[in-house]
């Protein structure tokens, strides 16, 4: 076979030229239209073509345009797209404060020591295999996850009223819960806080629920709009689902107080609303796993029903392992058994069964007293570093005399600061200072360190003094 300098076959080139020839195309078109016509004897290339039996059709490689030609370019995700833009920026000063992912003081991603240890143990255990997990996931992991969120002494667990299924991190747990509700629950409207994590709307809409919002944040006080929240929930139709952030509300960093949670519980229960907790930050808000689960435990303890989506992405740093759990607290044990059987029917056609590795890491840590303790110490260190970053940023803005009241930076809780910076100010900071954050003005405090604080403070100062 002849080869040219680039190593391509001459035959291949001839074939491409032949396919592109007007006569070949006209013959093809005629055949396609069912018209009997031949502009020349059958082309030699045509007879050599290995798929002679294939008539030109929209999906055939040798005819017309792509069947996907009308697919339009989608915009980047508002959160994950920030990382895409950051990665493209060649600047050495660039800082990524977009996605909620923890970084060390050195600006590096962190794999917890206890996670490394658990992984070593798993790797060194020759009895471990790679068989499929059951549809509902790793049984140990499910039991331990329920205990972690509801408390070891939870009556609902003791009475076998909780069904827990391992899912693909927090997002997967929300989606499976959403699809279960859309199929088996009588009220298909879910109320989500305004604002909320950007993906909530899409997850629940695609699960088949209709999404409405309740007031949550007051931009003037940069705190909770508690009155608005109560008003909106009291107007919701009886039975409606209410999405609640268990702690460290994303993006606002504003959580209700225990007293406010209690008022919300009374309203939700008396109206027959169904609470669906999103717990993506247990341990990250206060540094205590128990304190951050308090809201969920208040609802689980009253004997009523609720759902909880747990994620181990942030609190165990298992982002890419996609480890999470969906728990449904039912009123009766026999209901829980039937609910589990239906959850399996949601999961099986979606992804069949969940991955084994991350859940095994979590189970190894949660079931070993000493490893569990090591985890709590490492988790507290992460939470403390974030709290420390809040103080440093606040002090840096104060030192620069940046106009505005920035006390919300130290008052807000969890991974994010909802700065109050507007879209134009954010765009300015990205363009001029290579500081990347979501366009709603949310900053991931976990991405900040002592070296980048002054740069961020300069960027904020310039943005608020130059752009209104």
In 3D, which of 332, 335, 289 has the Cα closest to residue 156?
Answer: 332
From residue 138 to residue 167, the character string flagging contacts with ligand KET as x (rule: CB under 6 A) and all else as - is ------------------------------
Distance CA 331, CA 302 (A): 10
Instruction: Catalytic residue, from 232, 278, 292, 440: name it.
Output: 278
212 is a catalytic site residue: no
Query: What values do phi and psi take at 163, rounded to 5?
Result: -110, 130
Distance CA 297, CA 258 (A): 11
User: Using the rule CB under 6 A, is 252 a contact of ligand KET?
Assistant: no
Sorted by sequence, the CB contacts under 8 Å of residue 175 that are 6+ apart come out as 167, 203, 206, 207, 350
- Collapse the DSSP code of 318 into the 3-class scheme (helix H, G, I; strand E, B; otherwise coil) and give the result: coil
- Collapse the DSSP code of 197 into the 3-class scheme (helix H, G, I; strand E, B; otherwise coil) and give the result: coil
User: Using the rule CB under 6 A, is 354 a contact of ligand KET?
Assistant: no
Residues 230-249 interacting with ligand KET (rule: CB under 6 A): 245
Please, what is the minimum distance in Å from the beta carbon of residue 369 to ligand KET? 26
User: Using the rule CB under 6 A, is 436 a contact of ligand KET?
Assistant: no
Q: Which stretch binds ligand KET (CB under 6 A): 286-294, 311-319, 363-371, 379-387?
A: 311-319
From residue 82 to residue 121, the character string flagging contacts with ligand KET as x (rule: CB under 6 A) and all else as - is -----------------xx---------------------
Nearer to ligand KET, 161 or 385 (CB): 385
440 is a catalytic site residue: no
Please, what is the minimum distance in Å from the beta carbon of residue 70 to ligand KET? 29
User: Using the rule CB under 6 A, is 359 a contact of ligand KET?
Assistant: no
From residue 271 to residue 300, the character string flagging contacts with ligand KET as x (rule: CB under 6 A) and all else as - is -------x-x--------------------
Instruction: Catalytic residue, from 255, 314, 375, 406: name it.
Output: 314
From residue 169 to residue 188, the character string flagging contacts with ligand KET as x (rule: CB under 6 A) and all else as - is xxx-----------------
Nearer to ligand KET, 264 or 396 (CB): 264
Sorted by sequence, the CB contacts under 8 Å of residue 271 that are 6+ apart come out as 233, 234, 236, 238
Q: CA quadruple 167, 413, 316, 144: dihedral positive or negative?
A: negative
Nearer to ligand KET, 311 or 452 (CB): 311
Please, what is the minimum distance in Å from the beta carbon of residue 87 to ligand KET? 16
CB count in 10 Å sphere of residue 435:
25
In 3D, which of 302, 343, 314 has the Cα closest to residue 326?
Answer: 343
CB count in 10 Å sphere of residue 353:
16
Question: Taking a C-beta distance cutoff of 8 angstroms, is the pair 397, 460 a contact?
Answer: yes
From residue 58 to residue 77, the character string flagging contacts with ligand KET as x (rule: CB under 6 A) and all else as - is --------------------
Q: Contacting ligand KET (CB under 6 A), which of 191, 197, 299, 428?
A: 197
435 to each of 220, 296, 382, 442, 443, how far by Cα in Å?
Answer: 25, 35, 22, 12, 10
In 3D, which of 458, 137, 154 has the Cα closest to residue 323?
Answer: 137
Please, what is the minimum distance in Å from the beta carbon of residue 320 to ligand KET? 9
Please, what is the minimum distance in Å from the beta carbon of residue 385 to ligand KET? 17
197 is a catalytic site residue: yes
Helices (H), 92-225: 113-124, 139-150, 155-158, 169-184, 199-207
Question: Taking a C-beta distance cutoff of 8 angstroms, is the pair 282, 312 a contact?
Answer: no
By the criterion CB under 6 A, which residues form the site for ligand KET? Answer: 79, 99-100, 169-171, 197, 199, 245, 250, 278, 280, 311, 313, 319, 324
> Which residues are known to be catalytic?
197, 278, 314
């Amino acid at each position: 076979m002849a080869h040219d300098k680039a190593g391509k076959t001459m035959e291949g080139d001839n074939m491409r030229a032949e396919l592109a020839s007007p006569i070949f195309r006209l013959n093809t078109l005629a055949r396609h239209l069912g018209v009997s016509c031949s502009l020349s004897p059958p082309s030699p290339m045509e007879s050599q073509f290995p798929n002679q039996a294939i008539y030109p059709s929209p999906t055939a490689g040798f005819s017309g345009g792509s069947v996907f030609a009308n697919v339009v370019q989608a915009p980047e995700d508002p959160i994950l797209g920030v990382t895409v833009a950051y990665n493209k920026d060649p600047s050495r000063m660039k800082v990524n404060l977009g996605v909620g992912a923890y970084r060390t003081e050195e600006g590096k991603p962190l794999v917890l020591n206890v996670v490394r240890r658990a992984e070593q143990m798993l790797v060194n255990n020759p009895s471990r295999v790679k068989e499929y997990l059951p549809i509902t996931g790793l049984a140990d992991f499910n039991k331990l996850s329920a205990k972690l969120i509801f408390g070891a002494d939870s009556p609902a667990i003791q009475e076998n009223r909780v069904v827990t299924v391992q899912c693909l991190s927090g997002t997967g747990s929300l989606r499976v819960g959403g699809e279960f509700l859309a199929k088996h629950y009588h009220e298909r409207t879910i109320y989500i806080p305004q604002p909320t994590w950007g993906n909530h709307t899409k997850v629940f809409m695609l699960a088949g629920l209709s999404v409405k919002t309740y007031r949550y944040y007051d931009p003037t006080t940069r705190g909770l709009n508690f009155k608005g929240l109560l008003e909106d929930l009291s107007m919701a139709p009886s039975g409606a689902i209410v999405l609640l952030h268990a702690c460290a509300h994303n993006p606002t960093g504003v959580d209700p107080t225990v007293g406010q949670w209690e008022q919300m519980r009374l309203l939700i229960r008396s109206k027959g609303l169904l609470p669906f907790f999103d717990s993506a930050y247990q341990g990250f808000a206060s540094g205590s796993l128990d304190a951050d689960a308090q809201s969920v435990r208040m609802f689980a303890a009253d004997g009523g029903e609720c759902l909880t989506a747990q994620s181990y992405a942030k609190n165990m740093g298992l982002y890419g392992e996609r480890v999470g759990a969906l728990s449904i607290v039912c009123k009766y044990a026999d209901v829980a058994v039937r609910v589990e059987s239906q959850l399996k029917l949601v999961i099986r056609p979606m992804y069949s069964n969940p991955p084994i590795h991350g859940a095994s890491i979590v189970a190894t840590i949660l079931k070993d007293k000493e490893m569990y303790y090591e985890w709590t110490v490492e988790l507290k260190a992460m939470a403390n570093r974030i709290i420390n970053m809040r103080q440093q940023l606040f002090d840096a803005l104060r030192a620069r005399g940046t106009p505005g009241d920035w006390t919300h930076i130290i008052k807000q809780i969890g991974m994010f600061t909802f700065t109050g910076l507007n879209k134009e100010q954010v765009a300015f900071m990205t363009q001029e200072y290579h500081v990347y954050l979501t366009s709603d003005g949310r900053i991931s405090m976990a991405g900040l360190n002592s070296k980048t604080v002054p740069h961020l403070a300069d960027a904020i100062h310039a943005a608020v003094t130059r752009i209104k």
